[in-house]
Structure formats: C-alpha cells, structure tokens
Amino acid sequence: MSTVESLLDDARTHITRYTPEEAAAALCRGALLVDLRPVEYRWRFGEVPGAIAVSRHVLEWRLDVTSEHRLAQLRHGESDQEIVLMCNEGYTSSLAAYQVMRQLSLTDVKDVAGGFAAWQAAGLPTVRRLAG
C-alpha cells in the first residue's frame, strides 16, 4: 500500500527541484512560474511578481499544450517549455509536477523546494494584493 510520503518520495526522484533562487533565475529567463496556492494564501502572504496563479484543480487543463483552456503564456503544441510549479511549502507542487509530466508528456516541469515560504524567507520579491 502506498502512503502519501512514498508518493512524494517517488515524485521527487523524477523531477528537478529548484531552490527559490534558481526558480527566480528561471523566471527571468522566460520560464512560467505557476503558483498553485489558494487565493486566500495569496491574499494573506503575497504573491511572486510574474507568477501565474492556477488553482490545482484545473492545472491539467491549463497546462495541456493542446487545450483551448491552456495558459495564454503556454506555447501551443510545445511540450518542452520550462514550467516551474510553486505551492506554499513544496509538497503539492512536487506531486503536481510529476503528475502533469507523466500525464501530459511535458518534458520540463520543475517545482520550488520549500515553496512560497522558502521564496519569501530567501528575501526574494513578493507583492501584496488587497483581498476582495
């Protein structure tokens, strides 16, 4: 029987995990940084400038390069665009990165180790939005 920890360990053996600084560099060179955190977290703790907010429950539709619902920034039909997923602490993003790589045949999906919390702790830029 699998546990969530074994699923997480398995996922992390198949993906590349960026430090927050590596993720920031990837964003500067044109990678898509996708923030999976719920809107309440983004209101409360802030956002990364340039990140694209995508709810986890629609991630597959937004990252399918053939979908009419794909992110506007995602190049149609190109499965090798660099995509970096970020959640609050780096757990959901690891599982999601591995899942979308396998299911959608994306070849360059990574996640941020430590998530937004590590990004913020590293002193990298964030912005605050007003709720509502």
Residue ranges and CATH numbers for the domains of the chain are 4-121 (3.40.250.10)
Strand pairing class (32-35; 52-53)? parallel
Which residue is associated with the tokens 């499965």?
79
Question: What ranges make up the beta strands (E) of the chain?
Answer: 16-18, 32-35, 52-53, 83-86, 109-112
The per-residue pLDDT for 129 is 77
The per-residue pLDDT for 131 is 57
Cα gap 16→126, rounded to integer Å: 23
Q: What predicted TM-score, i.e. pTM, was given to this entire model?
A: 0.93
The per-residue pLDDT for 130 is 63
Strand pairing class (32-35; 83-86)? parallel
Per-residue pLDDT of the chain (132 residues; tens, 9 = 90+): 789 999 999 999 999 999 999 999 999 999 999 999 999 999 999 999 999 999 999 999 999 998 999 999 988 877 899 999 999 999 999 999 999 999 999 999 999 999 999 999 999 999 997 655
